[in-house]
């Protein structure tokens, strides 16, 4: 069960640019210390693409919590961070699973048609993508690979797969789905090698093979126009009109 704070995630919704009801939904999860507003322009830009105007974008904001890495300062975060020095570091498993549960609740509302703005119109799971940046990407990957049924796809930008030592045992299904993974070669926060190791694990240990795409860009811990363009092309393939 998600906590009351996580279960009641506030969202910003960008309806389909074409008008009417969506035939697909894309969730965009922000990074540490950010909010839904930080990715609103990206959602709007993607939604204006002629081939993506059937998509509804849902941007949740993470709960405020103390972050150990930042001397216990309270900020929006999908989970606590103790260190970013190694993928083998201690992780906030409880916080991760709480956020996965909270986002799953939002997904279920899309599937049920009970989410705000849907008015009973259901969006099937195979037309739902979960994407995120940094912490948001970590939650997206963990949610996707442990979900009972496959999503349309998962996108992880400048991120990593958490709980990597046990995630294989957490899977209730061996079903695979498309994954878009992107990382900056000059990332000073989430090391570039973390992304590469995650990609290798997804392809080999978790069996995603060629369904797991890897993209790299000459940038720090951020997003760039080329990356968002490539993400848009990928979305066209996994949730076409």
| Catalytic (active site) residue 134 | yes
Q: What pLDDT, on a 0 to 100 scale, did the predictor assign at position 6?
A: 46
Q: What is the pTM of this model?
A: 0.95
Q: For the segment 126-169, what is each residue's pLDDT rounded down to a tens digit? A: 999 999 999 999 999 999 999 999 999 999 999 999 998 899 99
From the list 30, 92, 99, 134, the catalytic residue is 134
Which DSSP category does 12 fall into? Answer: E
Q: For the segment 166-216, what is each residue's pLDDT rounded down to a tens digit? A: 999 999 888 899 999 999 999 999 999 999 999 999 999 999 999 999 999
Of the pLDDT bands very low, low, confident and very high (cuts 50, 70, 90), residue 34 is very high
Overall average pLDDT of the 6-20 stretch: 89
Q: For the segment 226-241, what is each residue's pLDDT rounded down to a tens digit? A: 999 999 999 999 999 9
Q: Which residues have a Cβ under 8 Å from the Cβ of 26 and sit 6 or more positions away?
A: 43, 46, 55, 56, 57, 58, 128, 129, 130, 131, 235, 239
From the list 54, 183, 199, 221, the catalytic residue is 221
- % pLDDT > 70, the chain: 97
CA 169 – CA 142 distance, rounded (Å): 12
Four-residue CA torsion sign, 101, 134, 59, 141: negative
Q: What pLDDT, on a 0 to 100 scale, did the predictor assign at position 233?
A: 98
Within 10 A of 191 (CB to CB), how many other CB atoms are there? 17
From the list 34, 80, 92, 187, the catalytic residue is 187
- % pLDDT > 90, the chain: 92
Q: What pLDDT, on a 0 to 100 scale, did the predictor assign at position 89?
A: 86
Distant-in-sequence contacts of 207-214, Cβ < 8 A, 24+ apart: 207/174, 207/176, 208/176, 208/179, 209/176, 211/176, 211/177, 211/178, 211/179, 212/179, 212/181, 213/178, 213/179, 213/180, 213/181, 214/181, 214/182
Domains of the chain (ranges; CATH) run 11-238 (3.40.50.1820)
């Amino acid at each position: 069960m998600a906590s009351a704070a996580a279960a009641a995630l506030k969202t910003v919704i960008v309806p389909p640019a074409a008008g009417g009801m969506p035939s697909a939904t894309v969730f965009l999860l922000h990074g540490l210390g950010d909010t839904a507003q930080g990715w609103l322009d990206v959602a709007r830009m993607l939604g204006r693409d002629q081939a993506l105007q059937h998509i509804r974008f849902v941007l949740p904001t993470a709960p405020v919590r103390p972050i150990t890495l930042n001397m216990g300062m309270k900020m929006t975060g999908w989970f606590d961070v103790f260190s970013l020095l190694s993928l083998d570091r201690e992780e906030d498993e409880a916080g991760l699973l709480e956020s996965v549960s909270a986002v799953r609740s939002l997904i279920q509302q899309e599937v049920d048609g009970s989410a705000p703005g849907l008015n009973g119109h259901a969006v099937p799971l195979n037309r739902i993508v979960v994407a995120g940046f940094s912490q948001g990407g970590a939650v997206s990957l963990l949610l996707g690979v442990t979900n009972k049924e496959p999503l349309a796809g998962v996108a992880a930008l400048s991120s990593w797969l958490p709980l990597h030592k046990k995630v294989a045992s957490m899977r209730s299904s061996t079903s695979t789905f498309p994954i878009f993974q992107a990382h900056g070669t000059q990332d000073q926060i989430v090391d570039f090698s973390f992304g590469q190791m995650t990609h290798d694990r997804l392809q080999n240990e978790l069996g995603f093979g060629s369904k797991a795409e890897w993209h790299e860009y000459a940038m720090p811990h951020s997003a760039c126009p080329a990356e968002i363009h490539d993400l848009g092309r990928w979305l066209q393939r996994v949730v076409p009109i």
